[in-house]
Amino acid sequence: MRLRTDAKKRRGSLFTNPGGPGVSGTGEFHRERSLDIMEQSGGYYDIISWDLRGINDTFPAAKCFQSQQLADNFWAGSLWYEGSEFDLQGFYARVESEDVKMRAFWEQCAKMSGDILPYLGTAATARDVASMVDAIDGTDSDINYCFVNYPSLLRTPILLIVDLRLYALLVVEIFLALMAPRSKWQPLARYLKAQDDLINAKSDGEKASILQAWSITNQKMGLADTLDRHELKQFWDFDFLYAHRV
C-alpha cells in the first residue's frame, strides 16, 4: 500500500508496519494511520506499508490449525486465552506447563507450515524492506523506516543485513509516553502504583476499587488524551528529522 506525497517535495519513501503482531499493513486501520504518519513526518515521503510474509493477504499463508475451533480447543485453559492474574506464585506455578504448550504449538505449526517457515521471520522482513526500496526508489537507495510496536525489533537486523543503508528511522514504542512532556509523568506514576497495589490487595473488593482507578488512569495515559495533535506532531517531527538520522 502506497500513499504518495507531493512529487515536488518528495525525498523518498518511508516504510512502516502497524505491528500487533498480526495487524494488517494494508487494512483500513493502517490506511488511516498512514495519513497521520505522512503529516507527522512533514509530508516529504511516500508512506509505504505491506503485510509481512505468512500473514493476512500474503500467500502462501502460515497456518497452525485447520480451523478456529481446533485452535480454541488447543489453547483452552492456557494463559494465552485466560490471561494471567496478579498472583505471582500462581503465574510461576504454570510456567512449566505453558512452556510445554508453546513447544507443542511450535510442533503443530511446523507440521502444517514447515515448508515455508524457513522463509519467514525478522531477517526475511529486513531483506524485503531493502528489496522494496530498490524497486521503488532505485538500487541501494537510502532506507527510511518508522518502527511501531514489535517491528521496532527490525532496526538492528536492517542495519546488519543491508550494509548500513538505513538513513533515517523513527522508533515508536510504548516508551513514547515516557518521552512526553513532564506533566504526563503523573498518570504514569499512578498507573504503576495501581499494578503494585493489585499484587498486594487483600480482598476482591479492594481489587475492584484498584482496577477502577487503574482504568481511569489507563485512559489518561492514552496518547490521544495526553498529547494533542499539535504537540505530538512537534515531538515526532523533531524525532524523525534530527534525532534518529544515522
**For residue 34, what pLDDT is reported?**
83
Sequence-ordered alpha helix ranges (H) in the chain: 28-40, 68-75, 79-82, 88-93, 95-113, 122-137, 155-161, 185-200, 204-221, 223-226, 229-238
**For residue 232, what pLDDT is reported?**
42
**For residue 219, what pLDDT is reported?**
65
Contacts of 64 (CB under 8 A, 6+ apart): 71, 105, 108, 109, 112, 113
Instruction: Tell me: cis bond preceding 60? Omega within 30 of 0 counts.
Output: yes
**For residue 155, what pLDDT is reported?**
54
Q: How many CB atoms lie within 10 A of CB 168?
A: 21
Q: What is the largest CA-CA distance in the chain?
A: 64
**For residue 198, what pLDDT is reported?**
74
**For residue 226, what pLDDT is reported?**
42
Q: Tens of pLDDT along the chain (246 residues)?
A: 888 999 999 988 988 877 666 677 787 777 777 888 888 788 888 999 888 888 888 889 888 999 989 998 998 888 777 766 666 777 788 888 989 999 999 999 999 998 999 998 878 888 888 899 999 999 888 888 776 655 555 555 555 555 555 555 554 444 444 444 444 556 666 666 776 787 777 888 888 888 787 777 666 655 444 444 444 444 444 333 333 333
**For residue 112, what pLDDT is reported?**
92
